[in-house]
Structure 1
Amino acid sequence: MPEEFYRIKRLPPYVFAEVNRLKAEYRAAGMDIIDFGMGNPDMDTPSHIVDKLCETVRRPRTHRYSASKGIPGLRRAQAGYYQRRFGVKLDPESEVIATLGSKEGLANLAMAITAPGDVMLVPNPSYPIHPYGFMIAGGTLRHIQTLEADGRFRPDAYLRALERAVMHSVPKPVAVVVSFPSNPTAQLADLDFYAELVRFARKHDLWVLSDLAYAEIYFDGNPPPSILQIDGAKEVAVEFTSLSKTYAMPGWRMGFAVGNSRLIGALTRIKSYLDYGAFTPVQVAAAAALNGPQDCVEEIRGIYRSRRDVLVESMARAGWDIPAPPATMFAWAPIPPAFADMGSMAFSKMLLKEAEVAVSPGIGFGEYGEGYVRIGLVENEQRIRQAARNIRQVLNDPERMLARHAPVEAAE
């Protein structure tokens, strides 16, 4: 028998596994790790959503198998959200499907539309499921660098990179993935960009998969738009959203795909073979979240905004200049100049050991993520300030820290 299974063999080593191993080791040794590594919301789910779950779960009929594509009331609730928020009209029957979080939806759509060897255009740096969902499905990846040298997203440069990728890819690419607000970089895109992207996709006969999981976690300026606001977008695009961050419901695993009816139909068919949908009481509670009072969304957004401000201010006092993210629950932080040559993995391991602070190394999001770390806004303000004090001690003595964490030279 082969030593490794085919799909497992195609996946690169999981970069975050080493950081996670060290976190567990240090905690077992009694260290108080301040963990900014995983984007795992720490707030309580709003009480009216929990109450609806409890009310529904007491009805024995809801304990049976549910609907793989989502119960009708939930799909109507998501269509209502798109109408209110974006002015986009969706058919709940053919253009909306409930998924077990946006991650599952992306992965299963990749399985539905990818033939072996198909070329997919994926962002880099990127949330790992964006490229590796297609790799698992047997596709071939073309990584598109999303940020310029100054760490900013420039739509014109990105579109030119897409054009070059299409011109030089054999076979011709099948789909392009975009994600704004972006995890991990927190960058935004506007409707002008989406209009150009839809035009580009229609010209080159490409599907567009848009990940809008952070639609409601924004801090400055206008709310992030949807690609489906562009005329003709439904001809080529499907969009994924999630309740995980919007309503602090990460463990509930509830998300959606909406848009192009052919893509939604393909995902529906794949899912019909794989699952019976989320537990019905979870779906009912999710509909209550979408249809109910929305002041909780602003409250959650305000908590993230306050944490962002505390992080940027306290880290600046510690000697680490971190750009204020305009959206998402993450800061995309350049490694301080004195430590830049270490690389993001070694820098992350050093912070873990010396400052008892966990961050995600940028290299884990793709090779173009090197030179950065991702910091999740998942600790309270007191813990953020404590982390900054710990990090300050590290940054104030770079020579000693670099000497302690210098790579071990191989013996000749």
Structure 2
Amino acid sequence: MSLARRISEMEASPTLAVDARAKALKAAGEPVIGFGAGEPDFPTPGNIVEAAQRAAADPATHRYSPAAGLADLRQAIAERTRTDSGVEVDPAQVTVTNGGKHALYNVFMALVDPGDEVLVPAPYWVSYPEQIKLAGGTPVAVPTTKATGFRASVEQLEEHRTERTKALVFVSPSNPTGAMYPADEVEAVGRWAAEHGIWVITDEIYQHLVYGGATFASLPGLVPEARDRTILVNGVAKTYAMTGWRVGWSIAPEVIAKGINKLQSQVTSNVANVAQHAAIEALTGPQDAVASMREAFDRRRRLAVEHLSAIAGVDVVEPEGAFYVFPSFEAVLGRTYAGRQVTTTLELAEVLLEQAKVAVVPGEAFGAPGYARLSYALGDEDLVEGIRRIGDFLAG
């Protein structure tokens, strides 16, 4: 028996693989500290859980619902997007999906044809290139570095544009770097895309996790002329500690939204109704927990940068959003650790897990060899202890 070529050629999610291995070692009694998971360590706020419990007890929730999502949830998404992103949205443009990852998959499948190119600034989230390839498209990495704050300029985007360029994936705040584009750069990218008729797929999943003096700026909110070719993706997972509830959404021009709805009707139908009711409460209910979690992430962000910066050979750019730090380990590669010469961050991640019992995601997974992603969505004590172990191991 053989798998279809599209599956054989697809890479498994490295972030999920690292998290699974760390959890398996923990279950076996190993004192592993995991920096791999991209999810808040907080419980879902109580008011959201209570809304789900009420929904589970209602027989109306036990039946199929519209494939594109419950009308009340689509309305809540439209209103929240107007408030938070400054974008006027008709609920008919909204498709509720099984998480933000599913929303992105739907978008690429509905928009990208074989031979189309999609620009993806690197470092990038691991699933963007694989989903583009599944749709028959070609991901085109646009490299950025810590020297530019991991932001792609219009000049760089233009260098990689060809007659086959169909779309740009635009992310701010970024996973894995935590980088953010200031409003003037967001506006410049939007105007460039509009000028050349390029679709923008903007992932705003981390829009509420912004720190210091940084301010979130939504591309379709800033550049009205780009809205007709912009698809916005978001979800409740990161903001409300709801990764396991699997509720995301896309907001697209109606012709694209109808295509996405058609696809979803044949593939998954509706998202679980209980989770949709929970998402309604998340978006329309009290927002106090969001502020509390953001404060905790901000404290951990500063802790992570402080302790990583103290390690000789590790170079850190302070993240402005999300809950990741993306240090460079380039200066320590080529050395021998535990009797093994380590020349890549892939190898470094392996020996750190084996010897220091610390799980990080190597930069190769994000198109950035020499770096590694550490999530600071874990308790303060584990955060400091995990980084201490990395420092001790590298000092060897």
TM-score (norm 1): 0.88
> Following the alignment from structure 2 to structure 1, what is the Cα–Cα distance between the partners of residues 116 and 373?
31
Equivalent residue number for residue 323 of structure 1 = 317
CA contact (8 A) 2:115 2:164 kept: no
CA contact (8 A) 2:182 2:214 kept: no
Map 1:319-398 onto structure 2 (within 5 A).
Answer: 319=312, 320-335=314-329, 337-339=331-333, 342-366=343-367, 369-397=368-396
CA contact (8 A) 1:34 1:379 kept: no
Kindly provide the amino acid, as one letter, of the partner of residue 329 in structure 1. Answer: F
> Following the alignment from structure 2 to structure 1, what is the Cα–Cα distance between the partners of residues 107 and 295?
33
Equivalent residue number for residue 237 of structure 2 = 244
Equivalent residue number for residue 338 of structure 2 = none
CA contact (8 A) 1:184 1:365 kept: yes
Map 1:205-244 onto structure 2 (within 5 A).
Answer: 205-229=197-221, 230-244=223-237
Kindly provide the amino acid, as one letter, of the partner of residue 154 in structure 2. Answer: L
CA contact (8 A) 1:15 1:363 kept: no
Equivalent pairs, count = 387
> Following the alignment from structure 2 to structure 1, what is the Cα–Cα distance between the partners of residues 309 and 186?
34
SS of the counterpart of 2:326? strand
> Following the alignment from structure 2 to structure 1, what is the Cα–Cα distance between the partners of residues 33 and 56?
36
Equivalent pairs: percent with the same residue? 30
Equivalent residue number for residue 116 of structure 1 = 114
Task: List per-residue Cα deviations over 1:336-379 (Å, max 9, x = no partner).
Answer: 6233672211111121122111000000112xx11100001132
> Following the alignment from structure 1 to structure 2, what is the Cα–Cα distance between the partners of residues 122 and 336?
23
Kindly provide the amino acid, as one letter, of the partner of residue 324 in structure 1. Answer: E
Structure number with bigger Rg = 1
Q: What is the CA-CA distance between 1:20 and the residue it aligns to?
A: 5.7
5+ unaligned residues in a row in structure 1: which ranges? 398-412
SS of the counterpart of 2:169? strand
Equivalent residue number for residue 157 of structure 2 = 162
CA contact (8 A) 2:126 2:366 kept: yes
Kindly provide the amino acid, as one letter, of the partner of residue 334 in structure 1. Answer: S
Q: What is the CA-CA distance between 1:41 and the residue it aligns to?
A: 1.9
Map 1:269-288 onto structure 2 (within 5 A).
Answer: 269-288=262-281
Task: List per-residue Cα deviations over 1:307-355 (Å, max 9, x = no partner).
Answer: 1122222334454453321110111111162336722111111211221
TM-score (norm 2): 0.91
Change (3 A) 1:153 1:74: same
Equivalent residue number for residue 88 of structure 1 = 87
SS of the counterpart of 1:251? helix
Equivalent residue number for residue 405 of structure 1 = none
Equivalent residue number for residue 133 of structure 2 = 135
> Following the alignment from structure 1 to structure 2, what is the Cα–Cα distance between the partners of residues 142 and 65?
39
SS of the counterpart of 2:91? coil
CA contact (8 A) 1:179 1:210 kept: yes
Which of 298, 301, 323 is residue 305 of structure 1 equivalent to?
Answer: 298
CA contact (8 A) 2:166 2:198 kept: yes
Change (3 A) 1:360 1:47: same
CA contact (8 A) 2:182 2:215 kept: no
Which of 148, 151, 169 is residue 145 of structure 2 equivalent to?
Answer: 148
CA contact (8 A) 1:107 1:129 kept: no
Greater Cα offset, 82-91 or 11-20: 11-20
Q: What is the CA-CA distance between 1:17 and the residue it aligns to?
A: 7.7
Change (3 A) 1:265 1:21: closer
Equivalent residue number for residue 404 of structure 1 = none
Kindly provide the amino acid, as one letter, of the partner of residue 343 in structure 2. Answer: M
Q: What is the CA-CA distance between 1:281 and the residue it aligns to?
A: 2.0
> Following the alignment from structure 1 to structure 2, what is the Cα–Cα distance between the partners of residues 266 and 385?
47
1:289 aligns with 2:287: no
Kindly provide the amino acid, as one letter, of the partner of residue 203 in structure 2. Answer: D
Kindly provide the amino acid, as one letter, of the partner of residue 57 in structure 2. Answer: R
Q: What is the CA-CA distance between 1:196 and the residue it aligns to?
A: 2.2
5+ unaligned residues in a row in structure 2: which ranges? 335-341
Q: What is the CA-CA distance between 1:139 and the residue it aligns to?
A: 1.2
Greater Cα offset, 109-118 or 282-291: 109-118
Change (3 A) 1:392 1:165: closer
CA contact (8 A) 1:10 1:135 kept: no
Kindly provide the amino acid, as one letter, of the partner of residue 325 in structure 1. Answer: P
> Following the alignment from structure 2 to structure 1, what is the Cα–Cα distance between the partners of residues 271 and 33?
32
Change (3 A) 1:172 1:36: same
Equivalent residue number for residue 407 of structure 1 = none
Change (3 A) 1:110 1:289: same
1:73 aligns with 2:105: no
Q: What is the CA-CA distance between 1:62 and the residue it aligns to?
A: 0.6
> Following the alignment from structure 1 to structure 2, what is the Cα–Cα distance between the partners of residues 212 and 312?
24
SS of the counterpart of 2:237? coil
CA contact (8 A) 1:360 1:373 kept: yes
